[in-house]
């Protein structure tokens, strides 16, 4: 069962959302009006055995990821973080020292991104560690970028480099992308504040480009064409390809947990889109086309033949 199926269910079961809900469930963040202000909200959980391995991962990095995963959703809306609350369910015997380390590190990460922790809830149980973080954000002068705004003719871009985010590389030493990534908040706001290159639609890559790009397409009622030769492939994805025997582009498209941004911008944008922002490369990877009965995302393979994400094994289910 995919997360979005259930989120869609929540949405579908709620056709009469109050007028104050300005962004309904199904985007990277929801939004409501509160005292005349727009409040954007996102929640994410990280669980031992699912999103990290407590036995092999430093507590500080687990805590960091619990915060940054959410901040990546904030980036996807081009919003500005305001505050966070964190809930932790600790395994019995976890110990007060480790709990303090955990909260100190969540606090430090939150502060680094100007997103103070203002509350929390701690429980203990005989099950594994799970952390749930809710972050709220504000537009602060920049209209949120939704998933639903992609237009035919738009150029598709991604930030950074993709693939094999679980692999520890030597660049820099010990770097493991899914734990150490920087949420692209500042970059997203630089894009979105500039009317010439402001994204029409944006999403953060958590499940992988092959699953996340179709979400932009479905919510925008468009299709997409990608060229695998254009994908920015991470050093880790090249390492992974050597080990797995799969082509590196497959790791870049499918591995997930990149926490980079995928966005679309107008047809004229390539001539003015910076090659990088704050040292992060911006790469043109494809084009938005009109909705058609064929595959949602058509992929040009390195040999020039065409395929689609579903036939390549990435089954998008909403």
CA distance to 4, 11, 189, 298, per residue, from 17 (Å): 18, 9, 28, 35
Distance CA 197, CA 235 (A): 28
CB 134 within 8 A of CB 189: no
Shortest distance, position 170 Cβ to its own copies, whole Å? 31
The residue among 128 and 243 lying less far from its own copies, judged by its C-beta, is 128
Shortest distance, position 17 Cβ to its own copies, whole Å? 6
Shortest distance, position 309 Cβ to its own copies, whole Å? 22
The residue among 9 and 292 lying less far from its own copies, judged by its C-beta, is 9
Q: What CA dihedral angle connects 215, 219, 220 and 222, to 10 degrees?
A: 60
The residue among 29 and 233 lying less far from its own copies, judged by its C-beta, is 29
3-state secondary structure 2-48: CHHHHHHHHHHCCCCCCCCEEECECECCEEEEECCEEEEEEEEEEEE
Which of 67, 160, 159 shows the shortest CA–CA distance to 112?
Answer: 67
Shortest distance, position 191 Cβ to its own copies, whole Å? 22
Distance CA 23, CA 94 (A): 39
Distance CA 84, CA 135 (A): 4
Rg over CA atoms, the chain: 19
The residue among 232 and 256 lying less far from its own copies, judged by its C-beta, is 256
The residue among 34 and 306 lying less far from its own copies, judged by its C-beta, is 34
The residue among 117 and 237 lying less far from its own copies, judged by its C-beta, is 117
The residue ranges that bind its own copies (CB under 8 A) are 1, 3, 5-7, 9-10, 13-14, 17-18, 20-21, 23-25, 29-32, 34-39, 41-45, 47, 49-51, 82-83, 85-87, 89, 96, 99-100, 103-104, 107, 111, 114, 116-128, 130, 132, 134, 136, 138-140
Shortest distance, position 27 Cβ to its own copies, whole Å? 8
Cα 240 to the center of its chain, rounded Å:
21
Shortest distance, position 213 Cβ to its own copies, whole Å? 20
């Amino acid at each position: 069962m995919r997360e979005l199926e259930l989120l869609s269910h929540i949405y579908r079961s709620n056709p009469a959302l109050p007028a104050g809900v300005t962004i309904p469930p199904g985007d990277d963040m929801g939004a409501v009006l509160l005292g005349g202000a727009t409040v954007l909200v996102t929640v994410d959980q990280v669980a031992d055995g699912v999103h990290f391995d407590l036995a092999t991962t430093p507590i500080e990095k687990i805590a960091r990821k619990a915060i940054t995963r959410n901040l990546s959703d904030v980036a996807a809306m081009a919003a500005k973080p305001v505050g966070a609350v964190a809930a932790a369910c600790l395994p019995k015997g976890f110990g007060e020292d480790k709990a303090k380390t955990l909260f100190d590190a969540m606090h430090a990460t939150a502060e680094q991104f100007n997103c103070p922790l203002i509350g929390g809830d701690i429980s203990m149980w005989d099950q594994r560690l799970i952390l749930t973080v809710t972050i709220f954000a504000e537009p602060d002068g920049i209209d949120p970028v939704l998933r639903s705004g992609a237009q035919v003719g738009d150029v598709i871009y991604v930030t950074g480099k993709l693939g094999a985010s679980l692999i520890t590389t030597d660049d820099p030493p010990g770097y493991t992308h899914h734990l150490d990534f920087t949420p692209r908040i500042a970059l997203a706001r630089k894009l979105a504040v500039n009317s010439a290159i402001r994204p029409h639609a944006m999403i953060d890559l958590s499940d992988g480009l092959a699953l996340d790009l179709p979400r932009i397409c479905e919510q925008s009622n468009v299709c997409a064409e990608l060229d695998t030769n254009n994908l920015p492939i991470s050093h880790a994805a090249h390492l992974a390809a050597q080990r797995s025997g799969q082509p590196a582009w497959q790791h870049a498209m499918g591995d997930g947990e990149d926490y980079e941004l995928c966005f679309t911008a107008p047809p004229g944008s390539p001539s003015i889109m910076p090659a990088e922002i704050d040292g992060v490369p911006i790469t043109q990877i494809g084009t938005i086309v009109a909705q058609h009965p064929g595959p949602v995302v058509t992929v040009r393979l390195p040999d020039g033949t065409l395929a689609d994400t579903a036939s390549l094994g990435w089954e998008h289910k909403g």
